[in-house]
Amino acid sequence: MRRLDLLAQLERYSPADALEARHQAAIVDLVGKAEGAFDRTHFVPGHITASCFIVDGGRLLLHHHRRLNRWLQMGGHVEIDEDPKEAALREGSEESGLRDLALAVDGIFDLDVHVIPAGKGEPEHRHFDVRYLARTASPGRSRRGRCGSTTTTWSTSGCRSAATSRAAWAAS
């Protein structure tokens, strides 16, 4: 069921540019053809992940990912019993400490396919990332979450570029 639901969401989604249109086509191809598309051990070519841009007014919450040594939005792997939307909200909550996350727009906000370097016993592979936009009513309660984060921060620097430019965060 989640495979069909995601394919329906992807069909309704309008990519922001040519690169995102290629990412959309790659995700549709993976979900449509690979039995293990949601399995985190499906390495060739990769697997579906989900992430969550958490916004508060003109601010975007980021976390510093320990293994990748980069500032990123919250996100991660889709568990066996959840769809990407549920995974994005769960990961957002776990990594930010915010328990009141709610989707700001219905449906997909952004798509990306990116390489994950080999590590932790896993080969290099790609994450086919389905991204959502969420809000919180309690931004002051954000904290460093579990697992891969070293710290979190609310950023205003460069926030309205790339994915975040979509209709000014869906009309903030």
DSSP string, 5-22: HHHHHHHH---SSHHHHH
Distance CA 147, CA 142 (A): 15
- The three-class DSSP label of residue 34 is coil
How many helices (H) and strands (E) the chain has is answered by: 4, 8
pLDDT at residue 155, as a whole number: 84
pLDDT at 21 > cutoff 60: yes
Predicted confidence band of residue 142 (pLDDT cuts 50, 70, 90): confident
Amino acid identity at 126 = R
- What tokens appear for 97 in the block? 């400490």
pLDDT at residue 145, as a whole number: 58
pLDDT at 94 > cutoff 60: yes
- What would the pLDDT profile of 29-61 be if each residue is shown by its tens digit? 999 999 999 999 999 999 999 999 999 988 999
- What would the pLDDT profile of 58-77 be if each residue is shown by its tens digit? 899 998 877 778 888 999 99
pLDDT at residue 99, as a whole number: 92
Nearest to 129 by CA among 112, 149, 146, 145: 112
CATH code of the domain containing 75:
3.90.79.10
pLDDT at residue 89, as a whole number: 97
Nearest to 116 by CA among 68, 84, 153: 68
pLDDT at residue 68, as a whole number: 73
What is the percentage of the chain residues whose pLDDT exceeds 70?
Answer: 86
pLDDT at 170 > cutoff 60: no
Distance CA 166, CA 37 (A): 27
- What tokens appear for 168 in the block? 């000014």
Mean pLDDT in residue range 110-114? 96
Distance CA 155, CA 104 (A): 18
Read off φ and ψ for residue 3, nearest 5 degrees.
-60, -50
Nearest to 10 by CA among 19, 20, 82, 159: 20
Mean pLDDT in residue range 112-117? 94
pLDDT at 84 > cutoff 50: yes
Q: Could you give the number of structural domains in the chain?
A: 1
Distance CA 55, CA 101 (A): 10
Domain that holds residue 140: 2-171
